Amino acid sequence: MAEVILDKVSKTYPGGFEAVRAFSLDIRDEEFVVLVGPSGCGKSTTLRMVAGLEDITGGTIRIGDRVVNEVAPKDRDIAMVFQNYALYPHMTVFRNMAFALMLRRQHGAFDNLLGRVLTPGRFRAARQERQGIDERVRAAAEMLGITSLLDRKPSALSGGQRQRVAVGRAIVREPKVFLFDEPLSNLDAKLRVEMRAELKHLRQRVSTTTIYVTHDQEEAMTLGDRVVVMKDGVVQQCDTPFATFERPANRFVAGFVGTPPMNFLEGSLALDGDGLVFVHGPDRLALAPEMAARMKPHVGKNLTLGIRPELLAVAGGWRHAADLPGSVRVTEPLGDRMDVHLRTRQDEALTARIDARTRVAPGDDVMLQVDMERVHLFDTAAGEPNLSLPPEAAASPA
């Protein structure tokens, strides 16, 4: 195991396109870090630079105490699981998992009849190597529940089974670092949820430093010790899953993390007696006292109010709630919950996630309550940072 340190790592392709810009991150020994973001944000390029599959344009990558900028991929002591699994179709599951270990054998050339006759000592060493590989493969197969599949070839496996084999092939190498490049994206929705749980369980048993890339924010929030949200090759936020959800650094992170995504209303702040209100057309939403105290320097600015769908309700009962009239357009029942798509009086789209027993229907005019203690305010004119974060959260390092 080892820590991985990326210090101002950049990647610029011919023609001047910057895929990754000044990426810095310290990944602790045995930590599971997830890189997440939309397609083209640079997350896979970053992972491939750590693996040595992409040359870096600038910066430094360390694995353990060694700078690996010029080290070949095979010598970096990493194991990578690819999106398409990259299994050898002509080999059995056992040979796929054992292949990298077989290549490392020092006495493999003597594991034959001639070696037994001419160099019995090396023949015995070769057999010990083979036995050790067999034990490691079978131990990994048992851990992943694929012992019964060892004699099959990839064409006889389901997508989930192939994914397990790819993970097993990485485990048997006992590397310093695991790299996962969207390993679940080829699976159907149900199997993806099941395999996500399997990876979480595997993480508890094999505590190896891991970098995991995905575009699925639910996957990132479920698996990661820390989540790194990227956009256009730049890190937007690096924090625990809970902090990333509850205290997004800017509007992009707020809108990307969370399902359904956060609602955004355009407006401005105004004084209202001793307090502050967010003015959205004819609607005035009073800020909670603690947030109002922090936001007084921003009175009169054009701001964006961010509201999670679960913070909207027909009858919320929150301590600091504000009323927001809306008109129901569509309802989407989800079992015990229901997503309700509405329009405000300013014709802004909203999504509320409410109790499915609430009686609302398309065309209804409703009075929503907003939990004003957990809303966010973003500066529309200055890169859209989250102005409503407490000082200690806003100043915390990535």
Q: Measure the CA dihedral 172/173/179/184, to 10°.
A: -20
Arithmetic mean of pLDDT, 384-389: 91
Of residues 189 and 309, more confidence is placed in: 309
Residue 395 has pLDDT above 90, yes or no: no
Average pLDDT, the chain: 89
Report the pLDDT value the prediction gives residue 149, as an integer from 0 to 100.
94
Look-up: residue for tokens 């270990």?
101
Q: Using alpha carbons, select from 81, 97, 85 the residue that is nearest to residue 211.
A: 81
pLDDT in tens, 120-172: 777 677 777 788 888 999 999 998 889 999 999 999 998 888 888 998 998 89
DSSP run (H or E) holding 295: helix 289-295
Look up the CATH number of domain 4-246: 3.40.50.300
How does DSSP classify residue 49? Answer: H
User: Contact, 49 vs 20, CB < 8 A?
Assistant: yes
Return the higher-pLDDT residue of 201 and 250. Answer: 250
pLDDT at site 100 = 85
Q: What is the mean pLDDT of residues 64-83?
A: 91
- pLDDT tens across 52-62, in order? 999 999 999 99
pLDDT digits (tens, 9 = 90+) for 335-361: 999 999 999 998 889 999 998 888 889
User: Rounded distance, CA 307 to CA 280, Å?
Assistant: 13
Helix 189-205 × helix 120-144 angle, to 10°: 130
The pLDDT confidence band at residue 397, using thresholds 50, 70 and 90, is: very low
pLDDT at 119 over 70: yes
pLDDT grade, residue 112 (50/70/90)? Answer: low
| 246-284 pLDDT per residue, tens | 999 999 999 999 989 999 999 999 999 889 999 999 999
Where in the chain is CATH 2.40.50.140? 260-394
Query: Model-level pTM?
Result: 0.87
CB of 214 closer than 8 Å to CB of 373: no
Per-residue model confidence (pLDDT) at position 393: 60
**Helix H or strand E encompassing 266:** strand 263-272
pLDDT of residue 396: 47
Q: 291-322 pLDDT, tens per residue?
A: 999 999 999 989 999 999 999 988 766 788 89
Q: Quick check: 54 and 11 in contact, CB under 8 A?
A: yes
The 10 Å Cβ neighbour count of residue 355 is 11
Enumerate the CATH 3.40.50.300 domain ranges in the chain, comma separated.
4-246
**CA distance linking residue 46 with residue 1, whole number of Å:** 20
d(CA 86, CA 376): 43
Share of the chain above pLDDT 70, in %: 93
Cβ neighbours of residue 365 under 8 Å, at least 6 residues apart? 325, 326, 327, 328
Task: Give the containing element (helix H, strand E) for 26.
Answer: strand 18-27
92 or 197: which carries more pLDDT confidence?
92
Per-residue confidence (pLDDT) for residue 186, from 0 to 100: 78
pLDDT tens digit sequence for 265-274: 999 999 998 8
CA 362 to chain centre: 35
Q: What are phi and psi of 3, to 5 degrees?
A: -85, 155
Residue 262 CA to residue 251 CA, distance in Å, equals 9
Architecture of domain 260-394: Beta Barrel (2.40)
In the chain, the percentage of residues whose pLDDT exceeds 90 is 62
